Structure 1
Amino acid sequence: MGQAQQAPGPGVRGRGKRGNPTPKAGRNLPAAIVVGLGMLLAVLAGLLLLPLGFVLIVTAFAVFGVWEIFRALEAAGTRLPIVPVLTGTVAMPVAAYFGGLESLLFAMLASSVAVLLWRSLEGAAGSARGIFAGVFTMAWVPFLISFAVLPLHTTAGLAPVGLWPGGVVPPGAWQVALLLLLVVSNDTFGYLVGAFLGKHPMAPKISPKKTWEGFAGSIGGAMVIGVLGSILLLGRPWWLGAVLAVGMVAAATAGDLAESMVKRELGIKDMSSILPGHGGVMDRLDSIVFASPVAFILFAAAGA
């Protein structure tokens, strides 16, 4: 998620001014902690108790993220066809849950065709740019985040609209839970280590505050969570958790840098200010949209 592994600006190692909850490392920590924990608990509750609720939460996050991108692009002079884009955004997680990978791919293809036709009917001026922006936005947010729903597909028939039968959570749900915990650990440990020890920027032209020290903190923290989660949640060997940790941190960091490049190109700091202490929804989704397909591939390769 968006601001993990960030090093402090000048003087960050000292305490902030009295009465100012925002440290110089860049976040309003009390607000960030409350909002972050609230979102995590809501998502995990839906995932482990009411699976369709989890799908709806994922869909809602995707819709908000797409809307933020739409507003940012519009301010920069690019108008994407929002109606077919939002329709595809809603369709993809639902298709992944009830139909699996094939349905997700079909939903992405059909949504792309709908964007093409819709924008073509609006006129030629700026159509190529609008079509590209629409397809890119759908591929970036709803398509990638729907991979977090795919592990639940094989058990969707067990609880199409209600609780897991007998209160037994299937392995696919635990896989998604571990994915979420690893992304959160990447953000948390990277931020803490980077804020106090960060000195060497990873990509100064893209994200000046992201450091190699923070990245190392993310790897170390995620390793602990991954190994424990693999053993306790999945009942799998410890090394699977270690592999997942490295994969999730690499993917989450790539997602963070990718969003930073987009924001830098658009000349904005945050996608919005809807989440106190965090910025916009996309500033929270940037890591998980890249991590979700990587986790899906790693679990499939490991036969989990």
Structure 2
Amino acid sequence: MQQELKLRIVSGLILAATVLAATWYGGLAFRILAVVIGLLIYYEWSQITGVARDWVANVVGWIGEAAIAFLVLVGNFEFAAGMLAGVTAVGIALIILHGTSRWLPVGLFYAGATGLALAAIRSNDQPGLYAMLFVFAVVWATDILAYFVGRALRGPKLAPSISPGKTWSGAIGGAVSAVAAGVLLAHFLLPGTEVVAAGVALILSVFSQSGDLFESFIKRKFGVKDSSRLIPGHGGVMDRVDGLIFACFAAFLLATLFSLIKGAGMTSLGAALFGL
């Protein structure tokens, strides 16, 4: 047990250092990290859902994910978004024409959107760095406080059929702490954006907890404990970033909406997320 705990701590520290270093440097370094996370998620998804056992779906899926990854790597986020939509549509067509599992297009979108959202939010500017740190802070505050508040107060279950350990008290506690963390970070990094940050943090916290429930649902449906064994002592990539994925989806959609309203395109989603 002690050996497993040590392995968990060491691998966790290495992961945290890698993610924070890539976040700090931004640019290509972070885009590589985002693409790797997206591709590993697709690998785990295809294994869990059985998509990998259908060779047609497997080949089409990997080609599609590789195309999205390439466009994200070169920083062409608008084309990557179009490719994501096209690849997902192909996955749906395969269900009709080939009888492919319905989990193929879901996985294609889930994995592809992960890499795209991460890279587009971070971008290569200072607001992108602040936005990414903001998302991390909100997700971590949600996870940590939801756990401790839930254990302390207990009460009615949030979704007993999906994740029996989660409670409404934990969910509310996580959301409140996420708003507090988001407002505090915004106050120091971008003074004057606290009101917008509070609203965005609440939305991201709700999505983060939904992402956690979604992965619990998938693992329960397919009877697996961990998404994979890729991370020593931690299970798989999906196990570690389930809440972050949904929070990034929400941040990406909100920032894109704000950018479209201002007519700014997808050039600086980090700034758009704070209403700048």
| Bucket of the pairwise TM-score, normalised by the shorter protein | 0.7 to 0.9
Q: Deviations over 1:164-218 (max 9, x none)?
A: xxxxx52122212211222122212222222343332100011111111221231
Q: Name the residue aligned to 1:83.
A: 59
2:170 is the alignment partner of 1:214: yes
Contact 1:76–1:266 (CA<8 Å) still a contact in 2? no
Contact 2:81–2:116 (CA<8 Å) still a contact in 1? no
2:148 is the alignment partner of 1:192: yes
2:111 is the alignment partner of 1:141: yes
TM-score, length basis structure 2: 0.80
Alignment of 1:214-253 (within 5 A): 214-253=170-209
Q: Which moved more, 1:28-37 or 1:198-207?
A: 28-37
Q: Name the residue aligned to 1:256.
A: 212
Question: How far did 1:138 drift?
Answer: 1.0
What is the aligned counterpart of 1:129 among 97, 100, 124?
Answer: 100
Q: Deviations over 1:216-270 (max 9, x none)?
A: 2312321222012112223342222321221111001111111111112112222
What is the aligned counterpart of 2:79 among 100, 103, 111?
Answer: 103
Question: How far did 1:275 drift?
Answer: 2.5
Q: Distance in 1 between matches of 2:46 and 2:85?
A: 20
Q: Distance in 1 between matches of 2:135 and 2:88?
A: 28
Q: Quick one: structure 1 residues 78 and 66, their matched pair in 2 at CA, closer, same or farther if it must change by over 3 Å?
A: same
2:275 is aligned with what amino acid?
A: G
Structure of higher RCO (CA pairs closer than 8 Å, 6+ residues apart)? 1
1:38 is aligned with what amino acid?
A: I
Question: How far did 1:151 drift?
Answer: 2.9
1:138 is aligned with what amino acid?
A: L
Q: Name the residue aligned to 2:18.
A: 42
**SS state at 1:209 partner:** strand
TM-score, length basis structure 1: 0.73
Q: Distance in 2 between matches of 1:241 and 1:31?
A: 36
1:223 is aligned with what amino acid?
A: V
Alignment of 1:6-17 (within 5 A): none
Q: Name the residue aligned to 1:151.
A: 121
Question: How far did 1:114 drift?
Answer: 5.8
- Name stretches of at least 5 consecutive residues in structure 1 with no aligned partner: 1-19, 23-27, 156-168
- Name stretches of at least 5 consecutive residues in structure 2 with no aligned partner: 259-273
CA RMSD in angstroms, aligned pairs only: 3.0
Q: Distance in 1 between matches of 2:223 and 2:173?
A: 29
2:66 is the alignment partner of 1:66: no
Q: Quick one: structure 1 residues 116 and 245, their matched pair in 2 at CA, closer, same or farther if it must change by over 3 Å?
A: closer
Q: Quick one: structure 1 residues 212 and 219, their matched pair in 2 at CA, closer, same or farther if it must change by over 3 Å?
A: same
Whose helix fraction is larger, Structure 1's or Structure 2's?
2
Q: Quick one: structure 1 residues 276 and 210, their matched pair in 2 at CA, closer, same or farther if it must change by over 3 Å?
A: farther
